[in-house]
Amino acid sequence: MDNDRPVVGVDDELRQRERLLHAMVDNALDAIALTQAGRQLRVNPAYARMFGFDSPEELLGIDVRTLIAPEHREIVDNHIRECARGGPAPEFYEVDALRRDGTRFTMEVHASAYVGDDQPYTLLVIRDVTERRAAEQALRDRERQVSGILENMQDVYMRADLEGRLLVLGPAAPAMFGYASVDEMMALSVFDLYYNRDDRLRVLQQLRAAGRVYDWPCQGKRKDGLPFWTSMNVRFVFDDQGRVVGTQGVLRDISESRRLGDRFRQAQKLEAIGQLAGGVAHDFNNVLASMMLHLGLVEQTRDLPDAVKTSVRAVLQEANRAASLTRQLLLFSRRSVMDMKSLDLNEVVANLLKMLGRLIGEQISLRFDRRDGLPLIRGDVGMLEQVLANLAVNARDAMGAGGVLTISTAVVTVSDAEVQANPEARAGDFVRLRVTDTGCGMDESMLKRIFEPFFTTKEQGHGTGLGLATVHGIVAQHQGWLEVESVVGRGSTFDVFLPAERQAGGEETSDPQAEPALRGTETLLLVEDASGLRDASARALRQLGYTVHVARSGPDALVLWKAHRDEIDLVFSDVVMPEGMTGIQLVARLRSDRPGLRCILASGYSSEIVDRGIAGLESVVYVPKPYRIEELSRVLRDCLDRK
C-alpha cells in the first residue's frame, strides 16, 4: 500500500540539502566565510588554515577587520558600510592580510551581499594570491629590465615571422637604419634591410643548415639607400610542437670597427714598407759611403787629367743626390731625426722639380714662380722635400685628367691682426711656399678634416689619409703653419709659412767639390762590419797619413785593443754591428779601460743617435753615413785636436 511507503518531509529535505551544502563548503579549497557587519559567523577549514588557526571555531565572532593589514582596513570598512546600508557591495577587491603569527599575505576577495531574516549578510570567497602576485611582479620587473636593456642597447633586437614581417624591433633600430621611428620601420620586411640580395641568401642558407648564425658580417641598407656593415647573431624561433615559426636576432653596426681595422692593416703595411725602406736605405748608405770615399781618393790624386776630375765630380754630385734619396727613405720609415740647416727654399724646390715632374705625370703642367733673394730658413732638406712631394701628389690626384700645378715662393710679413684670424700663426717675417692646383677643389666639410690622420677624400684603396697629416706635422716641427683655400670646381691652394732667417740665400747650388782633405799621423782603430765600406775607409784613412788597425766586429776590436792599447789615439766605429756588441757597447768597454778615449760613431740611421742615447755620451762624435773623405778628415781632426 502506498501508506506503507516512508514519507520524506520538507524539513528533512532542507536538512539534507543543508548538510550537503556544509559538506561542500567545508571541503572547498577556497577560503569561505559568512559575515555580518564584519563579524565572522561561519568559516570553513580552508579559511582557518589560510589565517593560521587550528579550527574554524577559533575564528567565530572575530571581526574580520582585525585580520586585515592596517593600511588596507579602510577598503574592508567601506565594504562593510555598503553592505549595512544595503548598497551594492564591491564584488571583488584585493588586500593584504595578517596570519595568526603576524606574517603577511595577499588575498583576493570575492564578496556577495544578501539579506536573510531582514539582516544583511556577506559571503566571502577568498584565495591566497601571494605567490601569483609575486610571480606577476617578477615578470613585470623582468619586462622592465629587458625594456631598459633594449632602450639602452646600441645593438638592435629584431624578431620576424617566416615571411619576413617584423614583429618586434628594438628602439635602437631607427638610428642605425636612418628612419624616424620604430613604427615607420614596422611596415618593412626584414629583407628590405639587406643591401645585397646575396647576403640575404647566404644568411638564409646558414640558418637552414645550422639553425643559427653567429657574428655574420653583411651589409645593411639605410633609408637613404646607402650600405653599412653589420654583424648579426640570428636563430630560428620554434613553437611548442618544435615547428619553425620565425627568426630572432641582434644586429650590431660594425662600420667603424671595420674602418679602424682597414686603417690598422694599412698602417701595418706602411710599417712593413717603412722597415724595408729603412733597411734598404741603411745598406745603400754603406754602398754610397764606400763609393764616395773611393771617388774622394781618386779626386785627391795629383796630376789628374781635367776630364777625369770633371767626371769624378759629376759622379760625386750624383752620389750626393742618391744620399738625398736615402734620407727621404729614412724619413718615410721614421728612422731619421731632423738635420736642421740654413737653407734657401728656392734651391730646395729647384732640386726637386725634376722628380716632381715625373711624379705628377705629363698631363699636368708644372710651373715654378720663384721670388729671388729669399731669406734663408732653418730646416731639414729631406723633410721639406717630403712636404712638397706630398702636396704635389695631392694636387695631381685632384686634377685627374690634367691641369696646372704652380709652386711659388715669397716673403711675407704677418701682422698681429692676421694672427687673430689663425691661432697657429705668429707675427713676423716668413718665407711662404705656395702650391696651387686647378683641380676639383674641396667643400667646407672636407677643409675642416683634411689634416686629420687617415682622413681622405680619395676612393677606397687610393690613398692612406696620412699625406697631409704628415705635412702638417713636419711644418709644425719647423715652427711654421699651413693655410688652405679651396673652392669646389676651382682648385685648391696650400700655403706653407716657415720662419725666415735674416740673411738672404744665394742663387747657386753648392758645388760638391770640397776643400782638400786634412791629414794626420795618429793611430786609429776602425770598426766596420760592411766589408766594402771597411776597405774603402781603411784605404782613405791610410792615404791621409793615419795608421789604421781594422776590425770587423766588437769582439774583433777588443782583441786588437788588447794588442795595441797604448798606440791607439781614436776609435772610429759603426753603431750597429753583429756578434752581440754595438758600437756604443764597444765604446763603453774601451773607455772603462781608458777614460777619455776619443771616439767617433757612424750610422746610416740618424734616429739611433736619439734612440740609443749616443747624444748623451761625453765627447763622442757622430758622423752620418754616407760621408765624403773631406768630411771625414775634418771630423777626425776636430776630434783629435780637441783639448
- DSSP line for 304-371: --HHHHHHHHHHHHHHHHHHHHHHHHHHHTT------EEE-HHHHHHHHHHHHHHHH-TTEEEEEE--
| pTM beyond cutoff 0.75 | no
When comparing pLDDT for 326 and 498, which is higher?
498
Distance CA 556, CA 573 (A): 12
Measured CA to CA in angstroms, residue 82 lies from 61, 74, 91, 107 at distances of: 20, 12, 12, 20
Name the residue with cell 642605425.
Answer: 176
Q: State whether 206 and 57 are in the same domain.
A: no
Q: Which residues contact 492 (CB under 8 A, 6 or more apart)?
A: 395, 398, 436, 437, 439, 441, 442, 484, 485, 486
- Rg of the chain taking only CA atoms, in angstroms: 47
How many residues are there in the chain? 643
270 occurs within a structural domain? no
Residue 314 lies in a domain: yes
Residue 445 within a domain: yes
Rounded CA gap, 268 and 303, in Å? 55
Which CATH number goes with the domain that contains 393? 3.30.565.10
d(CA 501, CA 378): 7
Do both 484 and 624 map to the same domain?
A: no
DSSP 545: T
Domain count, the chain: 4
Which of 411, 405, 457 has its CA nearest to residue 436? Answer: 405
263 lies in some domain: no
Residue 383 domain-assigned (yes or no): yes
Are residues 409 and 480 both part of a single domain? yes
CB 621 within 8 Å of CB 641: no
Give pLDDT tens digits for 459-518.
544 444 446 767 777 787 788 888 888 888 888 999 999 999 865 544 444 444 445 778
Residue 37 lies in a domain: yes
Under 8 Å CB-to-CB from 271, ≥6 apart: which residues?
none
Under a CB-based contact definition with an 8 Å cutoff, are residues 505 and 444 in contact? no
DSSP string, 37-98: TTEEEEE-HHHHHHTT-SSGGGGTT-BGGGGB-GGGHHHHHHHHHHHHHT----SEEEEEEE
Q: Per mean pLDDT, which range of 139-153, 413-427, 548-562 is the poorest?
A: 139-153
Q: Which range marks the domain in which residue 593 is found?
A: 285-338+516-643
Average pLDDT in the chain: 80
Rounded distance between C-alpha atoms, residue 226 and residue 224, angstroms: 6
449, 482, 504 - which closes a domain: 504
Last residue of a domain, one of 87, 105, 133: 133
Among 22, 23, 41, smallest CA distance to 123 is for 41
Whether residue 292 is found in the same domain as residue 204: no
435's enclosing H/E stretch is: strand 428-437
Q: pLDDT confidence of 211, banded at 50, 70, 90? A: confident
Q: What are phi and psi of 508, to 5 degrees?
A: -105, 145
Answer yes or no: do 244 and 178 share one domain: yes
Percent of the chain with pLDDT over 90: 22
Is residue 375 domain-shared with residue 524, that is, in the same domain? Answer: no
Has residue 33 been placed in a domain? Answer: yes
602 and 567, same structural domain?
yes
Residue 261 domain-assigned (yes or no): no
Cell of 403: 691641369
Among 1-5, 544-548, 591-595, the least confident range: 1-5
pLDDT at residue 233 is higher than 60: yes
Q: What is the reported pLDDT for 523?
A: 94
Asked if 360 and 483 sit in the same domain, the reply is yes
Helix axis angle, 554-564 to 583-593, nearest 10°? 20
pLDDT at 67: 92
Q: Are residues 498 and 539 in the same domain?
A: no
More confident residue, 5 or 203: 203
In terms of domains, do 57 and 165 share one?
no
Specify whether 68 is located in the same domain as 21: yes
d(CA 68, CA 40): 13
Residue 513 CB burial class (10 angstroms; 0-12, 13-18, ≥19): middle
What is the rounded distance in angstroms from the CA atom of residue 267 to the CA atom of residue 334? 13
Share of the chain above pLDDT 70, in %: 79
pLDDT at 196: 85
Answer positive or negative: Cα dihedral of 196, 200, 206, 212: positive
CATH for 226: 3.30.450.20
Report CA torsion sign: 190, 194, 200, 202. Answer: negative
- The CATH number covering residue 291 comes to 3.40.50.2300
Amino acid at 260: L
Instruction: For the sheet with 92-98, list strands across it.
Output: 39-43, 31-36, 119-128, 104-116, 92-98
pLDDT band at residue 618 under the 50/70/90 scheme: low
Question: Which residues have C-beta within 8 Å of that of residue 78, sequence separation ≥ 6?
Answer: 90
Q: Which pLDDT tens digit goes with each residue over 401-460?
A: 789 999 999 999 988 877 766 667 888 899 999 999 998 888 777 776 676 654 455 554
- Same domain assignment for residues 453 and 355: yes
Helix (H) / strand (E) element for 210: namely helix 197-210
pLDDT score at 510:
43
- State the Cα torsion 341-342-348-350 to the nearest 10°: -150
Q: How far is 292 from 195, CA to CA, in rounded Å?
A: 62
Lowest-confidence segment of 129-133, 381-385, 410-414, 470-474 by average pLDDT: 470-474
Non-local (6+) Cβ contacts of 339 within 8 A are 327, 380, 381, 382, 606, 624
Has residue 634 got a pLDDT over 70?
yes
Task: Give me the half-sphere count of Cα atoms (radius 13 Å) on the Cβ side of residue 427.
Answer: 6
* Closest by CA position to 75, among listed 92, 51, 50, 98: 92
Q: Answer with the one of 231, 253, 275 that is the final residue of a domain.
A: 253
